[in-house]
Chains A and B, each alone.
Chain A
Amino acid sequence: MNAAPHQITIEFDDRTVRRFLIASVIWGFVGMLVGLIAATQLSFWQANGLKWIEALTFGSVKIPADGISFLSFGRLRPLHTNAVIFAFVGNMIFAGIYYSTQRLCKTRTASDLLSAIHFWGWQLIIVAAAITLPLGFTRGKEYAELIWPINLAVALIWVVFGANFFWTLKRRHEPNLYVALWFYIATIITVAMLYIVNHLSIPTSFTHSYPLFGGVQDALVQWWYGHNAVAFFLTTPILGIMYYFLPKAAGRPVYSYRLSIIHFWSLVFIYIWAGPHHLLNTSLPRWLQMLGMLFSLMLWAPSWGGMLNGLLTLRGAWDKLRTDPVIKFYVAAITFYGMATFEGPLLSIRAVNALSHYTDWTIAHVHAGTLGWNGFMAAGMFYWLVPRLWNTKLHSVALANMHFWIGLTGILLYVASLWASGITQGLMLNALNPDGTLPKYEFIETLERIKPLMLARTFGGSLYLLGYLLMMFNLWRTIRSGTPSPETRLVTVDAASPHDRMSWRELFTNEPVLYFSLGLLLCLLWFFLPNYANLGALVGGFIVIIKGVTAFQSHPHRWAVWHDKLLQNYLPFTVLAFIAVALGGLIQIIPTTLANRAESIHGRLQSLYTPLELAGRDLYVSEGCYNCHSQQIRMLVPDVLRYGRPGIPDDYSHLGESLYDHPYQWGSKRTGPDLAREGSKRDALWHLLHMKDPRSTSPGSNMPAYPWLFDRSTDIDSLPARIAAQRRIGVPWPALTSDAIKDQARSQAIAISQVLHTQGRSIPPDREVVALIAYLTKLGAYQEVGLPSPPPPSPLRQPSLQPDLPDTHRPTLGANP
């Protein structure tokens, strides 16, 4: 081999970057357009089909159907979220990563073939999602709706991306890893971990599966994934992109290298723990809620570290803000990032969350992040990249500036009206009458009150999309004026470079890692040890921290040298980053899956569904009812008064009540009322009329009508396979033959149909609506199960191996009958 340094010419693969960039621009438009339609549906139920044409033509055109299945909110909203997250932001980060990684590594992407597979595979996945989601094929978990064959494809393509990326790192001609690459590394490994665990399922057919986890476990895994999809799909890769493109555009050095180090490691370590803040005040065990809340508060500073490093990099370049649209977009994006990451910890405080959760405040928060932070970072990157990739000048700076101002006005209007809407509705839903015994407002009244705000939100969203269209036009004209030209560069190859030679021993036996591991271990003991022993661990932790600080202060350079060396070794860096991100999930999820289930049902055990009710539940999931209805009465007085049954003081949702629910359906937003006790509230006839025309039974409702449920036949034939799959994941269905399952389902449907007939309504028993009614009238059914004594307030009770309940209630996962 050549020992002496020599120079070679490399040609970057910018074709892949151009492809991803164009895909992102196009999918972004599609995703936002679907979002706009979904927002309109919240104001006008007629938009859930084509009924609005009647209104627009003053009745001269008659539309027979009240709603169209594939245009209903419950199916379009998942399409919107998946499209903007995975198609718009996904393609955008791939474009940014492929562009910057080659330049930061001074090498061409390792494999053109893998890049092409990555690009086309990802687009195929998006097309598959855009077809299956409106058809109602879904797993029923937010941002994880895609069905299992597509899940496999996503995992596979992600591995292709990861392989291509790490292979490129391995072949790099730049020994040191720049901070952008740290964030890319964290993104790739963490998304793989989150995605795989949250998508573990048992298929029942080619288009349907049940998640492996159920009830509270599913809730916990889902929000560990959901929250960190925001963290590691919408934040860390964008931070990486910021670290590359912002200093390039500003022509200024990054503000602080040490801030990069501190905020990178603290961000990736702390973010993972914050997931349970999506489940505050629910029946989720208190220690997990505490971890979710307190880690979210600790996350504030690391997030702002990124914001500071972005904004302060512009010191000395602020004059460019006036002239350069790219800098405008970056500054606004980073400011929105700062705002959203301040709001996040705020919303994670249990008292604030009692008001904000299930309302539009959450939606305002997400959109400050996605429209403001992601959307504007994307716009800045596009405006900077396109002229360079096509070797030309931006078609119109004025148009880009106009995009900025229209888009900014749009976001501000959008976010402000949803803040107002969320706070208004939250206050109204939590208000009690003067003597404090009853909810003051009915649910419909709160909907009525926020109507103008919902319209303002749709208007704000339209403005944002209008700005986006200006960008599309501008970029298109720019591309037309140039030609794609490859960029070549002369780089120095030094085979004697000392990078990628760190030994495992060197990785783990050094002061920073040892002090940190020991401190962390003691902190964990502090969480989990019994009383007083835990205080010992806490004191020990303090001592370790003080020792660590003293060691650092006495020879800081030794720590700095070690970290600099770590940055020359991509695999050891990746291993450490993986350990940092894996810990939080392990500690939160494993105890919950191991803990004695019988003990953690809190006195109430869910009654098993009948086959027909299960079919109805699968319809509930497939129609996306969870997008608007929760099934969780929080441990809050207004919640129990509104949704609980009268006269039962502890009628909040208990853990055992959703024990057998695969997937869990606790929900995250109440556009309609909670349904946890629906079974004890209304009868079959009410539901029949309500599904046909929600406004006939609930005047003022904005729920879509579901006429197609009255035409389609329930899929009874697939029930045996579904029930077999449920038995395999631990739902204690009695042993039934296929025929017995189908017979049971049919006879229950006939019984419901007969009752409805005596009420003067004829509906054939085989219709989907009958199965859905069977489920809705069952919702919330449970058996009382005695508990020996109330559990003491301890973070985690020792999981005992002997369940208190006879195991017929619940065979454990491992013990397969």
Chain B
Amino acid sequence: MTDPPLPSGDQPLLRPHVFDGIQEYDQRLPNWWLMTFYIAIAWFVLYWTLYYQGGFFTSDSDRVTAQLQAIHQAKTKELEKLLSTLDNDVLWAWSEDPNIRREGQAIYSRICAACHAPDLSAKLAGAPLPGLPLNDEDWKYGSQPLDIFHMVSKGSPDKTAPVQMPPWESVLSPAEIAKVSAFVLSHHVHRPPPPAQP
């Protein structure tokens, strides 16, 4: 069999065969196109080798766990810092501060109102919502300001109870939790008198 002619230079070669009227040129492959192909293949080899041979990369689970541990430590530090200045009296005082109350209310309406109702009654149009009422005398998990702070932060202490409040520390920062607690305290039935002015 004779060698089929190959294209040379810029002369497009028309193949002899015709399929239902369709003909085919036999142009050279565009160089830039070939280069993208070669580079992608070379990148495969390089990346795979670096990853499995080079030891430059940590595994995904190690990386993300380390990052999250750092975040966890930062959060714990932040919480400790806040708690070192925060006690029941401070939170009572915050509950009197209109600015803090306003900020707390904004968080409350965004996050808490769905279960505790906008008016803290845990009732919407007479029907009970999942949350407990926050405007009555009954405080199931403690009525002191820091009890409320920890309740918001960690959620229901009884993890086997059929109805539970979720922990909000993964959504709110410690300062935000303190503010929303102050807002709840501003509706506390047994509000102690504000601390005596020095």
Q: Give me the interface of A with B, judged by CB distance under 8 Å.
A: 100, 103-104, 106, 174, 176, 178-179, 244, 247-248, 253-260, 262, 266, 281, 286, 290, 294-295, 297-298, 300-302, 304-305, 308, 312, 433, 435-439, 442, 526-527, 531, 534-535, 538, 556-557, 560-561, 564, 602, 635-637, 640-642, 644-647, 649-652, 681-686, 689, 696-699, 755, 759-761, 790, 793-795
Contact = CB atoms under 8 A, between A and B. Distances in A.
B14 A253 contact: yes
Interface of B: 1, 3-4, 6, 14-15, 17, 19-30, 33-34, 36-37, 40-41, 43-45, 47-49, 51-53, 57, 59-65, 67-69, 71-72, 74-75, 78, 110-111, 113-115, 124, 127-130, 162-164, 166-167, 169-173
A685 B68 contact: no
Contacts of A179: 24
A425 to B, nearest CB: 18
Contact of A697 (B27, B45, B114, B162): B114
B53 A531 contact: yes
Contact of B26 (A256, A646, A681): A256
A759 B128 contact: yes
A538 B127 CA distance: 70
B24 A260 contact: yes
B171 A442 contact: yes
A300 B33 CA distance: 10
Given A305-B33, A697-B115, A640 B24 contact: no
A646 B169 contact: yes
A256 B52 CA distance: 39
Contact of B24 (A257, A297, A696): A257
- Of the candidates A106, A174, A259, A651, the one having the most CB atoms from chain B within 10 angstroms of its own CB is A259
Contacts of A254: 22-25
Nearest to B169: A646
A781 to B, nearest CB: 13
A304 B4 contact: no
26 contacts: A100-B20, A174-B19, A178-B19, A244-B22, A247-B23, A254-B23, A256-B27, A256-B28, A258-B26, A258-B29, A290-B48, A298-B41, A298-B44, A308-B33, A435-B173, A438-B172, A442-B171, A636-B64, A637-B67, A637-B68, A641-B68, A646-B167, A682-B166, A683-B162, A685-B163, A696-B124
B15 A257 contact: yes
A641 B130 contact: no
A650 B65 contact: yes
Contacts of B68: 637, 640-641, 649-651
Given A256-B27, A760-B128, A435 B78 contact: yes
A290 B44 CA distance: 9
Contact of A297 (B15, B34, B44, B52): B44
Contacts of B37: 266, 298, 301-302
- Of the candidates B4, B52, B169, the one having the most CB atoms from chain A within 10 angstroms of its own CB is B52
A300 B29 CA distance: 15
A248 B21 contact: yes
Given A297-B44, A302-B37, A442-B110, A256 B25 contact: yes
A760 to B, nearest CB: 4
Contacts of A560: 4, 6
B36 A255 contact: no
Given A435-B78, A561-B1, 12 more contacts: A174-B19, A248-B22, A256-B26, A266-B37, A304-B36, A437-B173, A560-B4, A641-B170, A683-B163, A689-B129, A793-B51, A793-B57
A298 B19 contact: no
Contacts of A176: 17, 19
A699 B114 contact: yes
A300 B34 CA distance: 11
Contacts of B29: 256, 258-259, 262
Nearest to B1: A561
Contact of A438 (B36, B164, B171): B171
B44 A697 contact: no
A100 B23 CA distance: 15
Nearest to A760: B128
Contacts of B167: 645-646
- Of the candidates B28, B45, B61, B128, the one having the most CB atoms from chain A within 10 angstroms of its own CB is B61
B128 A538 contact: no
A649 B65 contact: yes
Contact of B20 (A104, A438, A561, A696): A104
A294 B25 contact: no
A636 B68 CA distance: 9
Contacts of A686: 115, 130
A640 B23 contact: no
Contacts of B163: 683-685, 755, 759
A248 B19 CA distance: 10
B2 to A, nearest CB: 9
A312 B45 CA distance: 31
- Of the candidates A260, A645, A689, the one having the most CB atoms from chain B within 10 angstroms of its own CB is A689
B59 A286 contact: yes
Nearest to A439: B171
B22 A178 contact: yes
Contacts of A760: 127-128
A602 B59 CA distance: 13
Nearest to A794: B52
B175 to A, nearest CB: 10
Contact of A640 (B30, B53, B64, B113): B64
B65 A281 contact: no
- Of the candidates A302, A308, A602, A683, the one having the most CB atoms from chain B within 10 angstroms of its own CB is A683
B52 A652 contact: no
A145 to B, nearest CB: 31
A647 B72 CA distance: 6
B44 A437 contact: no
B6 A556 contact: yes
Nearest to A106: B20
Contact of B173 (A294, A438, A535, A650): A438
3 A-B pairs with least C-beta separation = A301-B37, A253-B23, A649-B68
Given A442-B171, A637-B71, A794-B52, A294 B22 contact: no
A80 B43 CA distance: 38
A290 B130 contact: no
Contacts of B57: 793
B45 A652 contact: no
